[in-house]
Amino acid sequence: MLRPHGTYPIACKKKWRMAFTAISFVKLLHHLSKKALHMKPPTLFRSFSYLVIDVAPPHVSSPSRKLSNVDPKELGQMVGDKRLDSLTQFGDVKELAALLETDLKRGISDGDDDINRRKRVFGANVFTRPPSRGFLSFVLEAFKDSTIIILLFCAVLSLGFGIKQNGWKEGWYDGGSVILAVILVIGVSSVSNFNQSRQFKKLSAKSGNIGVEVVRGGRRQSVSISEVVVGDIVHLKIGDQVPADGLFLEGHSLKVDESSMSGESDHVNVNADANPFLLSGTKVADGFARMLVTSVGMNTAWGAMIGSITRELDEETPLQVRLKKLTSAIGKVGLFVAALVLVVSMMRYFTGNTRDDLGNREFVGRKTKFDDVMNAVVGIVAAAVTIVVVAIPEGLPLAVTLTLAYSMKKMMRDNAMVRRISACETMGSATTICTDKTGTLTMNEMKVSEVRVGKKLIAEGEKLAPSLVQLLKEGIGLNTTGSVYQPQEISLPEISGSPTEKALLSWAVMDLGMDIDEVKQHCEIIHVETFNSEKKRSGILMREKKGSNRVHTHWKGAAEMILAMCSNYYENTGEIMIMGDEERAQIGNIVKSMATKSLRCIAFAKKSSNGNEHIEKLEESELTLLGILGLRDPCRPGVKAAVESCKKAGVKIKMITGDNVHTARAIASECGILEPNEEFNEEAVVEGFQFRNYSAEERMDKIDRIRVMARSSPFDKLLMVQCLKHKGEVVAVTGDGTNDAPALKEADIGLSMGIEGTEVAKESSDIVILDDNFSSVVTVLRWGRCVYINIQRFIQFQLTVNIAALVINFVAAVSSGKVPLNAVQLLWVNLIMDTLGALALATEEPTNDLMKMPPVGRVEPLISKAMWRNLISQALYQVFVLLILQFKGRSIFEVNEKVKNTIIFNIFVLCQVFNEFNARKLEKKNIFEGLGKNKLFIVIVGLTVVLQVVLVELLKKFADTERLSWGQWGVCVAIGALSWPIGLLVKCVSVGPSK
């Protein structure tokens, strides 16, 4: 039974109160501890004084360190002006990285939220360029043509006199129709030029899309240069373009070419102490590094000056220069004919030798009204000016622009991005292609397929001595520009770097069980010698962090180069053996046998010193050979067929590679560059040092017989190009490295590799091969030839029209004082020729027949003998028919003068329509071959016919025509169609070998 509360003693009551208080306090503590543990971020409480500590997890900004508190302009000025004092205000590079919320090892977060936040605060890595030309500028440019201005002036005068004489209802037809026709020609020309300008701009934007390697979320990944943000950590190697302004974090032997910014050609050393600043748009000339991005886009030093360096898109190509000369020559002839027509027509009019449609004399002295005289004079002047308009083939430059734009677009689809448009046509004249091996002729997917330690072949799964394994891990894991990222223990590692580095790292990780982070933790790198294309090797000097503190030199490179530096070698048991002359010869033969199996041989060697010794540079003698790895890089599918295609086209292929002579010979034979009888021909396969040691006379004598140059340096490649050009060859060169830039610039056509190519190589090239495939090089060759042949097709078509129009109008003017084709009709013919004809004939795609023809020389005439044969025969036929109709047409068809002139106009246009088919094939008799593939040609021809019917049948007032009967239409079509059999018969006449 419970006692009442009041009956308890006072002492007992105190104890109960204390117990209750203790229980309540414990419950409160338990509640607070649970609340603190579940809070985000975790919060630590203390009673009474109440101290709160916020511990921010990575990539979560604390209120005092928000990105928005960092001034982008201050960062931009610091790097742009290279001000170390400004950097010290932030502390150092590491403290600035913390301020930008960047983990120096893992980079920024790879989440879209963090990247978008950085873009909002610091901007995107894009540049604001000057506005491109608007459509109106192209219209104004077309209006500036002097002949167009004269024609419009005449049309306005004709319009005024016509309205004054016949009133608004009837008087505007003559002058108004000319004005409308001129506006139509200007409009079509402006639209065409505007579209091509936009096309070139799009292609230019694509050429500026560069890939950059960044670290995000601990993973090394490639992103577009426009996606780089402030805080990114970027990996830089030789040949890379610095994507934004930033600071040097870590690296070795970094030298930067800042000539694009400062104009100075000397390379600038960049390091953590004296000069940590890296500027956007500069190029890495040597070494490698990691940089912290501090400014992007318009906040960079490059962005400040980008407005003045926009690349010119309307450069004149060599073919366009030649066509301008042709246009000028034809224009002078047209001007002379027009002047004669003007003088003769004026004389015939004012002497009373011209009659109107009713047979009455037009000029009867003072009885003729002033308005009639002025109308007649204006009409004669307009006709003469229109002859000039038709005679000047301004469609030729347009045809070049159209075919280049069309070809560039199609070449992009075929993995070739054109950076300089003149390269399209120059490639068609190429007589020699100097090509790389790795990645171009081969797959660029290297894999270690053979391992040699000493003189022994190591079978798959065979164990090596632990000491040798550790040295190989150091030699591969430290002496590399690649990286290994392990996302999870159960997943495969992600390996980044060049194909060679990826193959070596992959073998070390998979077969040796290498943990690259563990290797780096136990070693301190003292000095690095980056890969040198002359020495064909790279090396590191490193010190062990624990134990003996011994210093090791590690070299990696071409097997014969490393072998020459060694005096000892390891066996697979870990025992070190002396390398005498006999052993050296045996190992040399092993390397040779590996190379003859198309293996790329990479050797590893090391030399150790006591930790007490002071060593500043890498040892280069008395090394110990660790092992030799044979990397297989199979030939690309289709390369042999592509090489054979080039040979049939009369284009010589020369392979220039850094690999040894045995590997080079094996690959060249596999690709078909070396014929079976040339495989062991000493003159067909040479090494770089042999070629450079030849005398100038020997080089010029032997260069045609050289098919392969092995162990070549960049200077050897440049020397080869110079010698070939000196012999009159048109040389195309492929390259991917920084040191290939001189040869790429020297060549007539430089082709860089889009995947493995450095930015320096791409900048020096004319065309970027996006898939690094030799087959794409051959595709460029086919398109180059297609550009040239398309221009020839259009020249043949246009000159036929020019000759026929000039002759018929001149003869008619001299004989009768009137021209059968008036201004509007001639402007319509001009439109068919210049714009529609160019569009139809400039979009023919390349055929296999192009690769059966010999190369076109640079000085070959634009108009070949076959073209002269074709165009003269067609022009003579058209002139013959039209002159008969001019003098006998009224009696033949029993029609009046206006119907006769309409029939002449209709036949003249239809002759051009049918002759357009003839122009498709310059020498082939089957003009319809491949017609179904060019749907645009069919559409344009159909559109021309439809518009001609509308012009004749419906727009009588506009074109000054009369409706024709079905019979008259049938005769017109039949006469036009005769162009086909005439073209076929003419092609049976041989004019000698085609060029």
8 A C-beta contact, residue 749 and residue 427: yes
Q: Specify the 3-state DSSP secondary structure of 311.
A: coil
**Of 76, 101, 97, which is closest to residue 86 (Cα–Cα)?**
76
- Is 414 labeled as catalytic in the residue annotation? no
CB 921 within 8 A of CB 994: no
Give the C-alpha separation, 330 to 792, whole Å. 16
Q: What angle do CA 127, 113, 208 make, to 5 degrees?
A: 25
**DSSP E strand stretches across 671-807:** 685-687, 708-710, 731-735, 749-753, 767-769
E-strand stretches of 419-461 = 432-435, 447-453, 456-457
Q: What is the CA radius of gyration of the chain?
A: 40
Find how far residue 24's CA is from the centre of its chain: 77
Distance separating alpha carbons of residues 272 and 269, to the nearest angstrom: 10
3-state secondary structure of 215: strand
How far out from the chain centre does Cα 633 lie?
26
Q: What are phi and psi of 217, to 5 degrees?
A: 65, 30
Q: DSSP letters of 352-365?
A: T--B-TTS-BS--G
Cβ–Cβ < 8 Å for 130, 311: no
Show Cβ contacts of residue 150 under 8 Å, excluding neighbours closer than 6 positions: 385
- Dihedral angle, C-alpha 833, 837, 842, 846, nearest 10 °: -130
Helix 173-207 × helix 135-143 angle, to 10°: 130
Nearest 5°: CA angle at 669, between 853 and 430? 30
**Under 8 Å between Cβ of 427 and 784:** yes
d(CA 210, CA 193): 28
Helices marked H in 55-126 — which ranges? 72-80, 84-89, 93-99, 112-122
Read off the DSSP letter of residue 583.
Answer: H
Residue from 879, 915, 910, 889 nearest 972 by CA: 910
- CA angle (317 as vertex; 314, 318 as ends), nearest 5: 160
Residue 437 CA, chain-centre distance (Å), reads: 21
174, 436, 740, 766: the active-site residue: 436
Q: How many CB atoms lie within 10 A of CB 762?
A: 24
Contacts of 8 (CB under 8 A, 6+ apart): 16
Residues with catalytic roles: 436
